[in-house]
Amino acid sequence: MSTLDIRIDHDVIASWVAEGARVLDLGCGDGELLRYLKDKRGASGYGVEIDVERVIAGMKNGVNVLQIDLEEGLYDFEDQSFDLVIISNALQTLHRTEKLLCEMLRVGREAVVSFPNFAYWKHRVAIMDGHMPVSDRLPFQWYDTPNVRFFTVADFEALCDKLGISVRERLVLDDAGKPVTEEHNFLGSFALYRLG
Amino acid sequence: MANDFPRSTGSVGVVAPLSARFDTPLTLKSGAVLPGFELMYETYGTLNGARSNAVLVCPALSGHHHAAGVHADAPDNTGWWDNLIGPGKPLDTSKFFVVSINNLGGCHGSTGPVSANPDTGRPWGADFPVVTVEDWMAAQALLADRLGVDSWAAIIGGSLGGMQAMAWAIHLPARVRHAIVVASAPKLTAQNIAFNEVARQAIITDPDFHGGHFYEHGTLPRRGLRLARMLGHITYQSDDLMAEKFGRRLREGGRKFSFEVEFEVESYLRYQGDKFAASFDANTYLLATRALDYFDPAGDAGGDLAAAFAPVTADFLLVSFSTDWRFAPARSREIVDALMRNRRNVSYAEIESSAGHDSFLLDDPHYHAVLRAYFDNITV
């Protein structure tokens, strides 16, 4: 994601975090979001990250980072022990999507998920041209992408429906970071959901 | 990428061991009373005016006070954690005042089995009382008082040293702000106690042990101590590392169809065993392994580790190593879990390393980068 995208992502998530909330950030990267939520919202909690160099970056950022593989699930974490469990731009890099979504709402009272929309029109054009899409939101070649699950806004909502997860809020953004008001699955390249 | 992390070769230079004498009786967990005792320690760096930059380094099984630098009379005898402690190193002595200690019952100058029992004038030997991790902590706290350290900025230890850091955080929470627990466990498993028991039996059944009073017989239970160390060494390393270091390589001459040293790994183990047997006290080894066995804060709190950790206020860093099967990553995760249940600040790194339990003494770039990042964020 570009710096702008990261800022928008973090701002939207911060607006969904109550003052002083206890949060768990899955795939927390260098801990920027947690740091931001700590500074902006007085939030506390932990980040989970698998990559050791990002774990080190998170520690440098002064946040609690736990080096745990999310494919294991969240067995370390107690039921309803967080106000909010966040997975920002990382769900598509994990195999056990269904399990993780359920686990997030077992551990947290609410969940926030953000992800790139594979059905964005420019991505569709790329496929029409015979190539896997590469864009700001999908900045990887097919042979070096960390993404292992390829899904769309429509797919994600269908899965939430199947799992009985209700969508409390949704924000779909276009390439410029502007909210999309219609044809979300076609015009939006990035989506954020507040679930509960 | 790993090579991008800063490294420093800065040394604390020549250091002199110090000793502190305590004449107040210390009641141990067993109920036994030590009438008085002496502790050997070293310090590196300078205690600041606010006395807020002190870090306690707790030794592991065979560790002692000489953790960094060299002694003037032994310029080759570098401290056991010198790769960590020094100016510009992860535990930076230009920021922190580091105190390293030889625990009670040790054999490097602190009161222990080789010291004279005041009642008899002869070495304590096997009569030295069994000491626990909590007893060590109590003695360390007296030294902290003596040094004017009300609260440690951090307490760090690997393995058995990590248990001491946990003991402080649980029993003297107001006196420790950060606990850094490396390659440790909230208690030993049955398998782990079993290894300790084999080591102890090797020592106790050595005819030169004389029930622990070998000093009076002018002997040393070298065979027992050597076997204990050889066994320990196997468990501190990983299968992969031994395969990499020695494989099935034979020393010169190939197979002799004998039971002499033929494989490289045999030669290595015997060397390590001999070296240790010549420099370490058998009774101290028994005491230290027992301290490991007994450490069980959850057991003292009805089996609930989270309840045991309830008094903790310190922030924690836990580090484990992927191939450490003696203090496996899962054991560190139990500690992380107990801390999270108490909503404490905790970070956890699981370092990929082929070196097994011994990894905590090495300077793997990621491992040291984790420690550096953590120490750098400690405000003093």
pLDDT value for B3: 54
**How far apart (Å, rounded) are the C-alpha atoms in residues B322 and B352?**
5
Flag if B1 and A55 touch (Cβ within 8 Å): no
B349 vs A44, A67, A77: nearest CB: A67
Could you read off the pLDDT of B68-88 as tens digits, one per residue?
999 999 999 999 999 999 999
Please say if the pLDDT value at position A170 is more than 60: yes
Comparing alpha-carbon positions, the chain A residue that sits nearest to B345 is A64
The region of weakest confidence among A80-84, A174-178, B200-204 is A174-178
Q: Has residue B141 got a pLDDT over 90?
A: yes
Inter-chain Cβ pairs, chain A and chain B, closer than 8 A: 58
Mean pLDDT of B120-147: 97
Q: What is the pLDDT of residues A145-157, one digit of tens each?
A: 999 999 999 999 9
Whether the predicted pLDDT of B8 surpasses 90:
no
Cα B209 from Cα A133, distance rounded (Å): 74
H helix or E strand, kind and range, residue A100: helix A97-107
pLDDT one-digit tens code per residue, B157-189? 999 999 999 999 999 999 999 999 999 999 999
Task: Provide, as residue numbers in chain A, all residues whose Cβ is less than 8 Å from the Cβ of B373.
Answer: 56, 59-60
Is B337 within 8 Å of A55 when comparing Cβ atoms? no
pLDDT at A122 over 70: yes
Query: Whole-angstrom Cα distance, residue A48 to residue A26?
Result: 5
Residues 3-62 of chain A whose Cβ lies under 8 A from any Cβ of chain B:
22, 44, 46, 52-53, 55-56, 58-60, 62
pLDDT of residue A4: 72
pLDDT one-digit tens code per residue, B264-288: 999 999 999 999 999 999 999 999 9
- Distance separating alpha carbons of residues A56 and A59, to the nearest angstrom: 5
Lowest mean pLDDT among A27-31, A136-140, B334-338: A136-140
Rounded alpha-carbon distances, angstroms, from residue A169 to A119, A166, B24, B258: 20, 9, 66, 76
Answer whether B208's CB lies under 8 Å from B214's CB: yes
Q: The pTM is what?
A: 0.95
Q: What would the mean pLDDT of B118-133 be, rounded to a whole number?
A: 95
- CA dist B284 and B121 (Å) reads 19
